[in-house]
Structure 1
Amino acid sequence: MRRIEGGGRVPLGRITVQGIDFGTIRAEFSLPDAFGSAAMVEAENARDRHADGRLDATHIEFVTIDPPGSMDLDQAVHLEKSADGFVVHYAIADVAAVVVPGAALDVETRGRGQTFYLPDGSVPLHPRVLSEDSASLLPDVVRPAALWRIELDVNAEPTSWSVTRALVKSVARLDYSTVQADADAGTLHPSIAALPEFGRLRGDSAVARGAIELKLPEQSVVREEAGPDQSGRWRIVLEPRTEADDWNAEVSLLTGMCAGRMMIDAGVGLLRTLPPAEQSAVDTLRRTAVALGITWPPGKTVGQILAGLDAQEPSTMALMSVAPSLLRGADYAAFDGQLPDLTVHAGIGAPYAHVTAPLRRLSDRFSTEICLAISAGTPVPDWVRTALPELPPIMSGSDSVANKVDRACIDLTEVTLLEGRVGEVFDAVVMRSKDGKRAAEVFIPSVTVIAKCVGTPDDGERVKVRLTAVDTAKRTVEFSFPA
């Protein structure tokens, strides 16, 4: 049950459907099935190429925080309160130490770009023997890592940072819901006892920087239960975003911001960039807010307005459906010498680089290697410098495919859930009213579907709509208002 407007509660996504074949989506997007034999041999025999001279940090009691069941664990964290503020130790799987530049596995990962996640399983960037075993920061085993140490003041603003190769050992594998429950009960693991305070301070810092954060729950397709034929039953849910999600994300964002600053200062790197929102997009958001009855005091920034909204309210859902227009133009900027014209990620409000997910994202292996060299005062390896110009198109292309795959899986589940129900009337919340040629968009809580709606309902209104079309070939559904 999830509250979507003051005082009321409605059931979400309890209707299930059996036997969806997500293999059709794998085929449609030509997602690779298996690794070549040479790449598999390299993964199975991977060895730490930097074993000599690593810092022994196994005394630090790291923990990992990931979705339940995850095995490809990129990050492990230890956070402590100090007399001067906070100290973050963030261990990142050292993938560059076990993937040989130019060899078969390196070539295959460049062809993939990232791990693709589908409801019935992932298409990994690296063979599972490496990404879910020998290189993963699993609990109770010693692993090679790139270890960040970030010191922060009492306001959780970074004052110094460095990264070095180390040996680390995680002592616990946690998930977001467990961390949230422990935080609510005051029983957080000692290694992250300071995480709530740290996370809230970093959240305040984000608003002060002008960051634009969209924190609505996300649609996700999940397996309900295994059927007699083991095909399982599928449904769509809204994944609630907890405070623990945000606190943990702030550790990763902080590390990426430190990495971006290092690269800019050194004149070599790979940044994740986003231009400032166009004024027309801000104006549209402001008009929508006024129409929804959301107060926008003079002098308040977009980030401040969005941060102050209640994610449960239908008016928030409606405004957030417009807000993505503020975040258009994300890209990657590789540079070696001359800085790119754009060095800031406007959504974060600072320079930023991907360095915290090398098991799942290709760029992070190279970016981490750059930061290790800068921190050690050594030259950036030639294999990294040579690859830099190739990485932006690889990452942009794989990001596009990943987004399309995510959407296709949800669309396939939606049409399968609603097939045969044309003519039925559903309760809905209007996320976006009709705007020019763009159709209205409604959220149907009972099946957790977001779809187009013919008609002119008002933003944020609770209405009844009728299902008028289900096109299984195009994976689209359409509703009409009034019902």
Structure 2
Amino acid sequence: MKALADPGSVLSDGLARIRVEMQLPASFPPEVIAAAEAAAKRAPSEHVDRTDQPFVTLDPASSTDLDQAFAIEASGNDLLLHYAIADVGWFVRDGDLIDMEAWARGTSQYLPDGKISLYPAILSEQAASLLPDGLRPAVIFTVRLDPQGSAQLDGAERAIIKSRAKLAYETAREADLPPLLPEFARRACIAEDKRGAARVDVPQQEVVRGADGYFHLRFRPRAIAEDRNAMLSLSTNIAIGQVLLAHHTGLFRTMDAPDERVVKRLRNTARAYGLSWPAQASLAQFQRTLDPNKPREAAFGAAVHRAGNGARYDSYQAGVIPWHVAVAATYAHATAPLRRLADRYVVDATLAIANGRPVPDETAAAFARLSKIMARADALGGRIDRAAIDLAEVALLQGREGETFPAIITDIDERGARIQLRAMPVVSRIDAPGKMPGDAVTVRLDATDLAHRTSQFSVVHQDH
């Protein structure tokens, strides 16, 4: 799970079982690695020189697959974001061995103890990655942001860049960052609030063993630089989504609003965490009040991510406005081509449109196929996330068999009652005949099984 770290390797055996169960590849076939080694030597020949621009990257300290570098300048009352994106399309050609393997994978997949990359490391962590150790080919999107945070694409070009620094969320000081980044983020937040967006980023979770001998789940506070950096991709992807829609092509990231049953369940989850969700407030309005650096509010944010209908990829359809409810905008993924297959094609299409060229036939044809490919990859990622979360939850409970816990019944379906423990970020199911969603109960932990990632509870009594 992207949002779950295991710094002490306390879940190692369970994570190894997940890799086997999900049939996750341990490496790349030798012929794909050989093709990647050859591709890494491909010299750029269609790129203008932009090495004079002061690009930097901003990522977790441990990241080496750097998709984005950025520079920001003023243009009258507007801000211009020069967003350099790894030019994966320069190294990977349609139908080659690297491409075929990428279509089989769809995305990079993440577990707490490591990732399964979309592309071999010689590309994703070396030749194509925007590291500050030399010149790199990139696609630069220039995004204009007005004082109210409205973003539009001003241009796109293939270019050679040189990153000045690899900055990290954990250690970057204000003086290290481009001076206009805070103002860019402030404007983007204004636009987000105006749209009524409900996007809340969940901080990373870590499983640690406490002094009491039990495992605990703690949330790593999000750095201000991390939130500001997210606004760069968000604004760029919205600007690109608008361009693609206007030209009747593309692949869009979409998500529907949660249905009434999901909202009711989340209201019960909020109650379990002791959060005050006003009856008249929508889920989006309530989400915008959350502080992801407060553990209970962060845990609720994670519950929203798990409970939603899920985002998907939809290719352009005439007469349909693709919409992402959490972003509250038409939105396309373009800024992480080292980690998502679809982004490479969105980048190619946008590059063509921005320079007055027709979208390549192979790119347009790919959009029609990518929805299923990305859905399959997202579904696998969802199963991995759920398995990792289940493993972490059972680890938190181990050794507490026989203890009782206050809980809230958040939902009931054909599989029984879903409960949310009030003092721990743990969801489980129980047999609770006669109980209703919203009921407060005390449950006893009867058993845990780390190997199968399951826990068993029973109701002791109903609370009032």
Q: TM-score, normalised to structure 2's length?
A: 0.84
Conserved 8 A contact 2:78-2:147: yes
1:103 aligns with 2:96: yes
- Residue in 2 that maps onto 1:309: 290
Unaligned runs of 5+ in 1: 1-12, 225-233
Are 1:394 and 2:373 counterparts?
yes
Amino acid in the other structure paired with 1:476 = T
Q: 1:90 to 1:256 in 2, by over 3 A?
A: same
2:18 to 2, 16, 25: 25
Displacement of 1:245 in angstroms is 2.4
Give 2:143's aligned residue: 150
Of 225, 243, 258, the match for 1:244: 225
- What's 2:187 paired with? 201
What is the alpha-carbon distance in structure 2 between the residues aligned to residue 18 and residue 294 of structure 1? 34
**The one of 28, 48, 71 aligned to 1:35:** 28
Query: Does the 8 Å CA contact 1:47/1:97 hold for their aligned counterparts?
Result: no
**Whole-angstrom distance in 1 between the partners of 2:209 and 2:357:** 48
Secondary structure class of the residue paired with 1:267 = coil
Q: Rate the CA distance shift 1:220–1:314 in 2: closer, same or farther, 3 A.
A: closer
Q: Name the counterpart of 1:450.
A: 426
RMSD: 3.6
**Paired residue secondary structure (2:421):** strand
| Secondary structure in 2 matching 1:138 | coil
CA distance in 2, matches of 1:439, 1:346: 26
1:255 equivalenced with 2:236 (yes/no): yes
- 5 Å-filtered alignment, 1:277-296, equals 277-278=258-259, 281=262, 294=276, 296=278
Task: Map 1:450-469 to 2 at 5 A.
Answer: 450-452=426-428, 466-469=444-447
Deviation at 1:286, TM superposition (A): 6.8
What are the superposed Cα offsets for residues 360-398 of structure 1, whole Å, 9 maximum, x if unpaired? 111001110000000111122222122222111110110
Residues 260-269 or 403-412, more deviating:
403-412
Deviations 1:256-297 (A, max 9, x none): 111111111111111111234445655776788799673648
The equivalent of 1:123 in structure 2 is 116
C-alpha distance in 2 between matches for 1:159 and 1:204: 15
Alignment of 1:54-453 (within 5 A): 54-179=47-172, 182=173, 187-191=174-178, 193-220=179-206, 236-278=217-259, 281=262, 294=276, 296=278, 302-311=283-292, 316=297, 320=301, 323-324=304-305, 327-328=308-309, 330-335=311-316, 338-339=317-318, 341-416=320-395, 418-424=397-403, 433-437=409-413, 438-442=417-421, 444=423, 449-452=425-428
Letter of the aligned partner of 1:410 in structure 2?
I
Distance 1:178 1:127 in 2: 28
- 2:3 equivalent in structure 1: none
Q: Which moved more, 1:413-422 or 1:318-327?
A: 318-327
The 10-residue stretch of structure 1 (170-179 or 249-258) with the greater mean CA deviation from structure 2: 170-179
Q: C-alpha separation between the residues in 2 aligned to 1:333 and 1:406?
A: 23
- With 308-317 and 349-358 compared, the bigger mean Cα shift is at 308-317
Can you list the C-alpha shifts for 1:180-229, whole angstroms capped at 9, x where unaligned?
A: xx2xxxx33252x22223223312311211211234435345899xxxxx
The SS at the match of 1:171 is: coil
Greater mean deviation of Cα atoms: 289-298 or 90-99? 289-298
**Does the 8 A contact of 1:314 with 1:460 survive in 2?**
no
Letter in 2 for 1:107: M
Aligned residue for 1:435, secondary structure, equals strand
Q: 1:25 to 1:347 in 2, by over 3 A?
A: same
Residue 420 of structure 1: CA displacement? 4.5
Moved more, 281-290 or 307-316: 281-290
SS in 1 for 2:171: helix
Mapped contact 2:353–2:359 kept (Cα < 8 A): yes
Give the AA of the match of 1:195: L
* Matched residue SS, 1:333: strand
AA aligned to 1:306 is Q
CA contact (8 A) 1:139 1:170 kept: yes
Aligned partners of 1:222 and 1:358: how far apart in 2? 33
CA drift of 1:453 comes to 6.6
Task: Give the Å deviation of 1:330.
Answer: 2.4
Q: Deviations over 1:9-58 (max 9, x none)?
A: xxxx9997375252221111111222223221111011576822412111
Name the amino acid aligned to 1:45: A
Change (3 A) 1:235 1:167: farther
Query: Once the 2 structures are TM-superposed, how far is the Cα of residue 452 of structure 1 from its aligned partner?
Result: 2.2
The separation in 1 between residues aligned to 2:270 and 2:394, in whole angstroms, is 32
> Cα–Cα, structure 1 residues 295 and 135, in superposed 2: closer, same or farther, change >3 Å?
closer
Q: Is the 8 A contact 1:451 1:478 kept in 2?
A: no
Residue 453 of structure 2: aligned partner: 475
Secondary structure in 2 matching 1:178: coil
Task: Note the alpha carbon deviations across 1:143-181, whole angstroms, 9 max, x for none.
Answer: 0001011111222222542211111111111222224xx
TM-score by length of structure 1 reads 0.81
Q: Secondary structure at the match of 2:139?
A: strand
Contact 1:273 1:342 in 2 (8 A): no
**Contact 1:278–1:326 under 8 Å retained in 2:** no
| Counterpart contact for 2:418–2:428, Cα < 8 Å | yes
Asked if the contact 1:116/1:123 (under 8 Å) is kept, the reply is yes
- Report how many aligned residue pairs link the two structures: 446
Secondary structure, counterpart of 2:94 in structure 1:
coil
Deviates more, 1:60-69 or 1:450-459: 450-459
Closer, same or farther in 2 for the Cα pair 1:478/1:49, shift >3 Å?
A: same
